[in-house]
């Protein structure tokens, strides 16, 4: 199967409104992705493994979001913020319709999780956090990313670089005010905060260069890593360091942090 044939198949599944045959194909594609027989060249092999560890739900949503948006439906000028929003709306609608068909769509996420799990225990710039015993349930918005494909990239990269605090995607929905949300589960890690200097040393040991101390931004030519402050990085009692939240992206030149990557949706299909 060629790259063109694969994405044509995805578009047919979308056009057929995620019927039973289409859902079965998506499950098959997810299996091939997880077993590395479907190679998504947006990611390195290391990063694709991170995507796979987010679960089949994450993999399928990543592929749906990565499909091209029909240019005829994009009326805003190329490169404009409005055009980015139009792409985001198309991606959100695909994921929503698929999630409804597979029973992983949650209407009024905030109210639903509050009823199931009680009051939230934390709230950050993009996430609401609920206690679920040995794990946390997080509702992640698109405030930092606009497009779902970029928010899903963030989960893939987090899982690749910080597997001890892996994010497992369990569903999608709208918040009470109608904003698109990704619902994830993450291990609950107990520990203490670290200083900025300790965090910087940790990031440097991983190969990241400090780019902006004011917003805790680090980078390599491949990866942009930010929001690495003392509430997002903790040290356990036995001295291990855990990143529980961060803004991590494929480092493209557009981010102006020395990035060399390009965003692509090229597929190599090795299953046949």
Over the stretch 127-182, which tens digit does the pLDDT of each residue have? 789 988 889 999 999 988 999 999 999 999 999 999 999 999 999 999 988 999 99
| Domain positions in the chain | 3-103+263-269, 105-187, 192-255
Over the stretch 82-98, which tens digit does the pLDDT of each residue have? 999 999 999 999 999 99
In terms of Cβ atoms closer than 10 Å to its own Cβ (0-12, 13-18, 19+), residue 5 is exposed
Least confident of 20-24, 40-44, 59-63, 211-215: 211-215
pLDDT the model gives residue 3:
95
Portion of the chain with pLDDT greater than 90, in percent: 77
Average confidence score pLDDT of the chain: 93
Least confident of 11-15, 46-50, 119-123: 119-123
Does pLDDT of 229 surpass 80?
yes
**Is residue 175 within a helix (H) or strand (E), and if so which, with residue range?**
none
Gap between the terminal Cα atoms of the chain: 7
CATH hierarchy code of domain 105-187 = 3.30.200
pTM: 0.95
Beta-sheet strand order (sheet of 168-174): 105-106, 168-174, 180-187, 135-140, 127-132, 122-123
Beta-sheet strand order (sheet of 233-235): 192-193, 233-235, 241-243
Does pLDDT of 8 surpass 70?
yes
């Amino acid at each position: 199967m060629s790259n063109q044939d694969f994405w044509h198949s995805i578009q047919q599944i979308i056009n057929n409104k995620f019927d039973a045959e289409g859902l079965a194909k998506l499950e098959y594609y997810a299996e091939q992705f997880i077993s590395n027989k479907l190679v998504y060249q947006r990611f390195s092999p290391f990063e694709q493994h991170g995507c796979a560890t987010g679960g089949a739900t994450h993999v399928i949503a990543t592929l749906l979001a990565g499909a091209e948006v029909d240019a005829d439906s994009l009326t805003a000028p190329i490169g404009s913020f409005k055009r980015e929003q139009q792409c985001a709306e198309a991606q959100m609608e695909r994921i929503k319709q698929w999630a409804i068909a597979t029973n992983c769509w949650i209407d009024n996420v905030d109210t639903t999780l509050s009823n199931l799990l009680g009051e939230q225990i934390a709230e950050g710039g993009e996430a609401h956090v609920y206690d679920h015993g040995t794990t946390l349930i997080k509702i992640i918005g698109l405030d930092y990313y606009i497009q779902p494909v970029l928010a899903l990239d963030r989960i893939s990269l987090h899982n690749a670089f910080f597997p001890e605090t892996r994010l497992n995607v369990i569903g999608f929905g709208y918040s009470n005010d109608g904003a698109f949300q990704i619902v994830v589960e993450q291990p609950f890690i107990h520990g203490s905060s670290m200083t900025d200097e300790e965090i910087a040393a940790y990031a440097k040991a991983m190969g990241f260069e400090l780019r902006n101390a004011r917003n805790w931004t680090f980078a390599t030519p491949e990866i942009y890593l930010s929001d690495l402050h003392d509430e997002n990085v903790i040290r356990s009692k036995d001295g291990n360091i855990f990143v529980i939240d961060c803004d991590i992206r494929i480092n493209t030149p557009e981010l102006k942090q020395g990035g060399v990557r390009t965003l692509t949706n090229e597929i190599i299909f090795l299953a046949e």
